[in-house]
């Protein structure tokens, strides 16, 4: 009897990852303060963001409100307890107050520190004597997520980052509190090779910015890493830049839609960077439509938890450094596939074109997918649903996409017709 229960449990859980701390089988969803607010954070912003999360976004699966760098007292730790202290001016009631407030609204609270001696903005950090104290403090405060950065390290840490990130992992586990552990060492020392054993996610690259060049650069770097992502453990291509205006950079609506779709396909944490307090403003409706597309979110939260792969490309003309240098023009279509539960598959067709969206050497394209090339059978018929336009068609042997603008994406779910 007991054996049967165990077998049944294993079947439900499926793949058991190396680091199963019971937190987040599928990628975490929430918000982080850094991309828009950087160091301009305070208690009021976090409370209002928790309120917005609770009333507007919780129902879509978003739940974390993560405070990034600059939250602690810059002058240092408590003299006696050696604990970190929240900045008394900007966070007068401390972090526990915010965690309790978040929990009372069904929201989770995240915090930030660093494996080195100072955070990237120069605030006190956990290295190397404080991992255990800080893990205990965060657990005592009721923190649910820790982002752990990579600034101000020394030779010893850089010689074996897995050891020091591993110490924090153990320290967090020993607290007994389930805390999502997010390593942020910018892809240095190939974290995908060691971080899956000690953490829930690891940054794969340097910082994102709201430009197409950045999105594409990060996409390319994550492309070969699909085998390292799975339940409870995710490659982290960095936080979302949908509707984040950071002059001179800002993604267009189409670029933001592509970015969001691709991050969902990549099993990335979906951490919003925009001002979610204003998500219902009329002029921001387009952004809300993107981040609340439930069918695209469902790709990210699919229970198989498999990162998308490039199935094939249609690349024509001479392209150098993402620029078309061919007088006859170029085509650059990437076809990404993500295996879903029930034998279904999501296929995203990206017209990545050049760096400049107005590059006349690329154009709007529709693309015909031979079903065989995306792993489907030639004899079956499939229902194909466009997850942005919500249109449905049937396809056999091949499927022709809608016309896709430069820097745009079309994403389809293929289900076997009954």
- The site for ligand GAL (CB under 6 A) is made up of 34, 68-69, 119-121, 149, 151, 184, 207
Asked if residues 241 and 258 have their Cβ atoms less than 8 Å apart, the reply is: no
Residues counted in the chain: 418
Preceding amide of 388 cis, omega within 30: no
Nearest Cα residue to 290 out of 323, 338, 257: 257
Residue (76 or 343) nearer to ligand GAL, CB: 76
- Per the annotation, the verdict on 144 as an active-site residue is no
State which residue, 143 or 296, has the beta carbon closest to ligand GAL: 143
Give the shortest CB-109-to-ligand GAL separation in angstroms: 16
Q: Residue 4: left (phi > 0), alpha (psi -120 to 50), or beta?
A: alpha
Given 207, 314, 359, 402, the catalytic residue: 207
Output the smallest distance, CB 249 to ligand GAL, in A: 15
CB of 145 to ligand GAL, least distance (A): 13
Q: Give the nearest distance from C-beta 418 to ligand GAL in angstroms.
A: 46
* Rounded Cα–Cα distance for residues 72 and 119 (Å): 10
Identity of the residue, 149 or 334, whose beta carbon is nearer to ligand GAL in the bound complex = 149
Kindly state the smallest distance separating residue 206's Cβ from ligand GAL, in Å. Answer: 7
170-186 burial, b if ≥16 CB within 10 A, otherwise e? ebbbebebbbbbbbbbb
Give me the residue whose beta carbon is nearest to ligand GAL.
120
- Cβ proximity to ligand GAL, 120 vs 395, nearer residue: 120
Kind plus residue range of the DSSP H or E element containing 304: none
CA 58 – CA 2 distance, rounded (Å): 37
Nearer to ligand GAL, 141 or 150 (CB): 150
Contact 271/66 with Cβ under 8 angstroms? yes
User: How far is residue 417's CA from residue 211's CA, in Å, rounded to a whole number?
Assistant: 39
Query: Between 187 and 230, whose beta carbon lies closer to ligand GAL?
Result: 187
271 CB contacts (<8 Å, ≥6 apart)?
28, 29, 30, 31, 32, 64, 66, 239, 240
The Cα–Cα gap between 407 and 350 comes to 7
CB of residue 68 to ligand GAL, shortest distance in Å? 5
For ligand GAL, the closer CB: 43 or 68: 68
Between residues 54 and 119, which has the closer beta carbon with respect to ligand GAL?
119
What separation in angstroms does the CA of 195 have from each of 145, 160, 204, 225, 323? 16, 12, 11, 13, 35
Instruction: Give me the residues paired with residue 350 across strands.
Output: 334, 409
Query: Which candidate in 149, 217, 275, 405 is catalytic?
Result: 149
Output the smallest distance, CB 113 to ligand GAL, in A.
Answer: 10
The whole-angstrom distance between residue 191's C-alpha and the CA centroid of its chain comes to 16
Give DSSP secondary structure letters for 332-390. EEEEEEEE-GGG-EEEEEEE---SSTT-TTS--B--EEEGGGGT--SSSEEEEEETTT-
* Least separation in angstroms between CB 272 and ligand GAL: 14
* Residue 207 is among the residues annotated as catalytic for this protein: yes
- Which active-site residues does the annotation give? 149, 207
């Amino acid at each position: 009897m007991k054996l049967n229960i165990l077998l049944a449990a294993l079947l439900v859980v499926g793949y058991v990852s190396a680091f199963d701390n019971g937190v987040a089988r599928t990628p975490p969803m929430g918000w982080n303060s850094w991309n828009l607010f950087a160091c301009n954070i305070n208690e009021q912003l976090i409370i209002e963001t928790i309120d917005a999360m609770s009333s507007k976004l919780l129902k879509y699966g978003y739940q974390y409100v993560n405070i990034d760098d600059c939250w602690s007292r810059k002058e240092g730790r408590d003299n006696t307890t050696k604990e970190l202290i929240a900045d008394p001016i900007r966070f007068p009631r401390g972090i526990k107050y915010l965690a309790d407030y978040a929990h009372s609204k069904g929201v989770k609270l995240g915090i930030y520190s660093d494996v080195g001696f100072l955070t990237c903005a120069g605030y006190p950090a956990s290295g190397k004597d404080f991992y255990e104290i800080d893990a205990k403090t965060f657990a005592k405060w009721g923190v649910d997520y820790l982002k752990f950065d990579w600034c101000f390290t020394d030779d010893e840490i850089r010689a074996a980052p897995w050891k020091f990130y591993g110490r924090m992992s153990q320290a967090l586990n020993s607290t007994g509190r389930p805390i999502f552990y997010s390593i942020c060492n910018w892809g240095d020392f190939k974290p995908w090779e060691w971080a899956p054993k000690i953490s829930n996610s690891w940054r794969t690259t340097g910082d994102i910015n709201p430009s197409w060049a950045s999105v594409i650069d990060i996409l390319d770097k994550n492309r070969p890493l699909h085998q390292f992502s799975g339940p409870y453990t995710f490659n982290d291509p960095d936080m979302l830049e949908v509707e984040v205006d950071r002059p001179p950079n800002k993604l267009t609506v189409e670029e933001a839609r592509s970015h969001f779709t691709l991050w969902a396909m990549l099993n990335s944490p979906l951490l919003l960077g925009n001002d979610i307090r204003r998500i219902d403003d009329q002029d921001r409706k387009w952004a809300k439509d993107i981040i609340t597309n439930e069918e695209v979110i469902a790709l990210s939260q699919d229970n198989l938890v498999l990162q998308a792969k490039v199935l094939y490309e249609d690349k024509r003309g001479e392209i150098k450094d993402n620029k078309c240098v061919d007088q006859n023009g170029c085509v650059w279509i990437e076809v990404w596939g993500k295996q879903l539960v029930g034998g279904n598959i999501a296929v995203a067709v990206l017209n990545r074109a050049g760096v400049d969206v107005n590059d006349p050497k690329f154009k709007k394209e529709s693309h015909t997918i031979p079903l065989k090339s995306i792993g489907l059978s030639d004899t079956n018929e499939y229902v194909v649903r466009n997850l942005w336009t919500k249109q449905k068609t049937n396809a056999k042997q091949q499927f022709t996409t809608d016309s896709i603008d430069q820097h745009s994406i079309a994403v389809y779910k293929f289900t076997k017709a009954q």
